[in-house]
Amino acid sequence: MLPAHEPALSLSDWIVLSLVCEGPAHGNALAVLLGQDGALGKIWHVNRAGVYRSLDRLVDLGLIRSAGDQPSNRGPVRTLVEATAAGQAAAASWQHRPAQHTRDIRSELLIKLALLHRSGTDPHDLLIAQRGRLEPIVAALRDRIAFATGFDRTLLLWRYETASAALRYLDALMPASPLPSGLRQPPAGWLPQIDTGVTRLPALSWLSHPLPGEGTRMTEIAVTVDGVKYVDNVEPRLLLVHYLREVIGKTGTPIGCDTSNCGACTVLMDGESVKSCAVLAVQADSAQITTIEDMAEGGLHPLQQAFHEQHALQCGYCTPGMIMAAADLLRENPHPSDEEIREGLEGNLCRCTGYENIVRAVRSAAESGVDQ
Ligand code: FES
Ligand code: FES
C-alpha cells in the first residue's frame, strides 16, 4: 500500500522522476538512458513517447517543473526540467520502499538499486525492508505447500522457489558480519548478525556455497527417500533437511528452527524418527528416509486422518514432524498411555499450543490399530 503522501505513479513515472531528481534533465537524455541499450533501459525500458508522457504527468502533479532551455548546436533547443521539493521527497520515499510482490523484484527492486547506486546512496535499508517483506511470503508459501496437492502444489512450489531465490539474492547483496573469531566455517545455527529487525531465515548461502578461497569437497551419497533412490554429490556440512528440501525437492518437511529444538523437520531414518536438521546428509548415506510426503498411500494415513478428525492442527507447521514422531512412537509402543504419548512427542513443539488435541489424535490412531 502506498504511504498517504505518495502519489500513485507508474513504475516508469517513478523512474523518470528519480532521474530528474539527479539534476536538471531534458527528455531526450532520459530517453537514451531508458532506451533498450541504455544503462537503465536494460532493467526497465521506457520508449521515448513514454518518457514524455511521464514528464507531462509529473509536471501536472507538481513533482517537476520547467528549468529553462538548454541551447544545443546539434539540434533544437531542449527544455530542461527539475524536481520540485515535493518531487524530491516523493522519489526518496519511493526508492526506499520495498517491492510488494515477488514478481516485482526483477523490475522494481532492481531499478531502485540501480538508482541508489547512481546517487551513491547505501541500499542497506531498502534490502532490509525488502527482506522483511519477503520473509512472511516465503513462510506462508512453505506452510501451504505442505498441504497442497495436484496443480495447486505445482503452482505453490513455483512461487515458493521464486521467493526463496529472491531471499537468497538479497542475502548475497547484504554484507554479513565476520564469522566468530577463529572459525573458518560457521557453526551449525550461526547466522550473520545484521541488525535487520526481522528474523533471518537460515543462511542457505553458507550451506550451499564454499567460503571464499575454499575448494568444494563433495561426497557422494546414495539415499532412498520415500522409496526412490537418489545418488548425489553433497558438501559434507550439508544438513539432511536442506538436502531433502533443496536438492531433491521434498518440501513437505518444514524447517521450524534450524537449531534442533522444534521437531518440525522430523523424518524417519531407517524407521526411527530423527530431526533432519540435526543429521548431516552424509550420515544418511545408504539409509532409507521416509518423509511426510510418503505417509499417504491412496488416501490419508490413519495418523493424518486422526489429526484431521481430532482438530490436532491449527497453523499446521508442526504437523509433519508430529506425525512422523508419532509414527515412530506407535511402532515402538502401539498402545501408549497419554503420558507415554506426551513423553514420546516431547521433542516436538507446537507454537499454536494445540497439545491436547495432538495427544487425543495419537491416542485415536493407536486405538484404530496404527502401529507404523
Ligand atoms: S527445524 Fe529441525 S528441530 Fe526445528
Ligand atoms: S499447529 Fe501451529 S505449530 Fe502446531
Q: Is residue 66 part of a domain?
A: yes
Say which ligand is closest to the CA of 188: 1
Instruction: Count up the domains in the chain and report the number.
Output: 3
Residue to mutate, 261, 269, 292, ligand 1, most ligand atoms under 8 Å from C-beta: 261
CA dihedral sign, ordered 136, 137, 140, 142: negative
Say which ligand is closest to the CA of 349: 2
Distance 259 CA to ligand 2 centre (A): 18
The reported pLDDT for the residue numbered 231 is 93
The atom of ligand 2 lying closest to the CA of 353 is 4
Whichever domain contains 243, its CATH number is 3.10.20.30
Distance 333 CA to ligand 1 centre (A): 24
Nearest-angstrom CA–CA distance, 63 and 29: 19
Whichever domain contains 77, its CATH number is 1.10.10.10
The reported pLDDT for the residue numbered 75 is 67
Ligand 1 binding pocket includes 261 (Cβ within 6 Å): yes
Q: Is residue 273 part of a domain?
A: yes
Ligand 2 binding pocket includes 256 (Cβ within 6 Å): no
Residue to mutate, 314, 324, 345, ligand 2, most ligand atoms under 8 Å from C-beta: 314
Q: Is residue 349 part of a domain?
A: yes
**φ and ψ at 310, to 5 degrees?**
-95, 10
Q: Is residue 110 part of a domain?
A: no
Q: Is residue 323 part of a domain?
A: yes
The atom of ligand 1 lying closest to the CA of 265 is 2
Residue 80: other Cβ atoms inside 10 A? 17
Say which ligand is closest to the CA of 264: 1
Q: Which amino acid, residue 8?
A: A
Ligand 2 binding pocket includes 321 (Cβ within 6 Å): no
> Are 237 and 311 part of one and the same domain?
no
The atom of ligand 2 lying closest to the CA of 352 is 2
Last residue of a domain, one of 77, 95, 113: 95
Last residue of a domain, one of 38, 68, 95: 95
Q: Which residues of the chain have pLDDT under 70?
A: 1-5, 72-75, 175-216, 258, 371-372
Q: Is residue 287 part of a domain?
A: yes
Ligand 2 binding pocket includes 314 (Cβ within 6 Å): yes
- Helix (H) and strand (E) counts for the chain? 13, 7
The reported pLDDT for the residue numbered 36 is 87
Kindly report the pTM of this predicted structure: 0.48
The reported pLDDT for the residue numbered 349 is 95
The reported pLDDT for the residue numbered 205 is 34
Distance 354 CA to ligand 2 centre (A): 7
Last residue of a domain, one of 279, 294, 309: 294
Q: Is residue 282 part of a domain?
A: yes
To which H or E segment does residue 268 belong? strand 266-269
Ligand 2 binding pocket includes 318 (Cβ within 6 Å): yes
Tell me which residue of 287, 145, 142, 159 sits closest to 202, measured CA to CA: 142
| Calculated CA dihedral for residues 331, 332, 335, 338, nearest 10 degrees | -110
Distance 241 CA to ligand 1 centre (A): 9
Say which ligand is closest to the CA of 254: 1
The reported pLDDT for the residue numbered 209 is 39
The reported pLDDT for the residue numbered 5 is 62
Find all residues with CB under 8 Å of 297, minimum gap 6, and list them.
none
Ligand 1 binding pocket includes 240 (Cβ within 6 Å): no
Q: Is there a contact between 106 and 113 (Cβ–Cβ < 8 Å)?
A: no
Q: Is residue 55 part of a domain?
A: yes
Ligand 2 binding pocket includes 311 (Cβ within 6 Å): no
The reported pLDDT for the residue numbered 370 is 74
Residue-range definition of the domain harbouring residue 237 = 217-294
CB-based contacts of 176-184 (< 8 A; 24+ apart in sequence): 176/203, 184/211, 184/214
The reported pLDDT for the residue numbered 200 is 32
Nearest-angstrom CA–CA distance, 177 and 171: 12
Ligand 2 binding pocket includes 30 (Cβ within 6 Å): no
The atom of ligand 1 lying closest to the CA of 266 is 2
Ligand 2 binding pocket includes 206 (Cβ within 6 Å): no
Report how far Cα 213 is from the mean position of its chain's Cα atoms. 27
Q: How far is the first Cα of the chain from the last one, in angstroms, to the nearest whole number?
A: 49
Residue 307: other Cβ atoms inside 10 A? 26
Say which ligand is closest to the CA of 143: 2
